[in-house]
Amino acid sequence: MFPDSTLYKRTLPKSKLYENSDLTTAQKQTFSRQVRSILWRNKIAPSTANLAHGENVKEIQVFHLTLNVPDPDEKILRKIEQTIPYHLLFIMEFDGEFQLWLTPVSNSQTPFLRTSWREWDALPIRLEGMNMDEVYENFIHQLAVSEDPYWDTKCPIEENLALQTQRKKLEKEIAALRKKIAAEPQFNRQVEMNQKVKQLKNELESLREIKNQH
């Protein structure tokens, strides 16, 4: 996955990862229950990967979390992440499969980018770039493209995230309306809602076509 020179391979006590956070006792217990073990797998830095320094990204720490549950509490991980002064990449392992989790922007309100569960060799990440900023940005694009066919690597990450949010919102509205149509006994109301679905689908298609316009 990454050059051998970046390997660190230190086992961390779970308490070490959250010792400087403001997690409540209940959240610490939840984290300990959901996470079986933590391996500090890699340190990606100018000194370990022959990269130039970045303006925003100094180092990327790669933590391998072996899980007891397939969907750990994201809010807890975000709180932990905010106490660590480096960019992080999480490798999640559960039942022999793996996910990658990465923060796309330094904003606690932005969800992690996640891959689907995959075999190790199918994880869509590689070290590309001349400096630390480029490497981290490429990580974001690699993860996003693997899950979202409309993600445009030629666009800024913030623009991609905004468009992705809009697409997901429209997809949810369309799904909700279709559910209502299926349960609606009145034909006139069905027609009205179908017209609304058609309008939303046109808006969604316009957003999806933005990638082809660059």
Mean pLDDT along residues 85-109: 88
Domain ranges of the chain: 4-147, 158-213
Give pLDDT, residue 209: 86
Give pLDDT, residue 18: 87
Distance CA 41, CA 63 (A): 6
Give pLDDT, residue 58: 94
In tens, the pLDDT along 129-174 reads 999 999 999 999 999 999 899 999 888 888 998 998 999 999 999 9
Which helix (H) or strand (E) element contains residue 97?
Answer: strand 97-102
Mean pLDDT along residues 186-190: 93
Q: What percent of the chain has pLDDT over 70?
A: 97
- Checking if the pLDDT of 93 tops 70, the result is yes
Task: Give the residue among 182, 186, 212 at the shortest CA–CA distance from 197.
Answer: 182
Distance CA 183, CA 196 (A): 16
In contact, 2 and 62? CB cutoff 8 Å: yes
Structure tokens at 186: 């009145």
Name the residue type at position 179: K
CA dihedral 150, 152, 155, 161 (to 10 degrees): 40
Half-sphere exposure of 191 (CA within 13 A, CB side): 3
Mean pLDDT along residues 30-50: 96
Alpha carbon 194 to its chain's center: 34
pTM score of the predicted model: 0.85
In contact, 64 and 41? CB cutoff 8 Å: yes
Which helix (H) or strand (E) element contains residue 93?
Answer: strand 87-94
